[in-house]
Amino acid sequence: MQIKAIRATPVLIPLEAPYLWSYGALAGFTKTIVEVETSDGLVGIAEAPSHGSAAIIARMAEALVGHDPLDMAGLERRIFGDAAVCVGLHGGWH
Lowest average pLDDT, out of 20-24, 26-30, 73-77, 87-91, goes to 87-91
The domains found in the chain, sorted by start residue, are 3-69 (3.30.390.10)
Position 93 confidence tier, pLDDT thresholds 50, 70, 90 = very low
pTM: 0.76
pLDDT digits 0-9 by tens, 25-46: 999 999 999 999 999 999 999 9
pLDDT of residue 94 exceeding 50, the answer is: no
Position 81 confidence tier, pLDDT thresholds 50, 70, 90 = confident
pLDDT digits 0-9 by tens, 40-69: 999 999 999 998 999 999 999 999 999 999
Cα–Cα–Cα angle for 20, 25, 29, rounded to 5 degrees: 95
Greater confidence, 90 or 58? 58
Q: 38-41: which pairs have CB atoms within 8 A and are 24 or more residues apart?
A: 38/1, 38/2, 38/3, 38/4, 38/69, 39/1, 39/2, 39/3, 39/4, 40/1
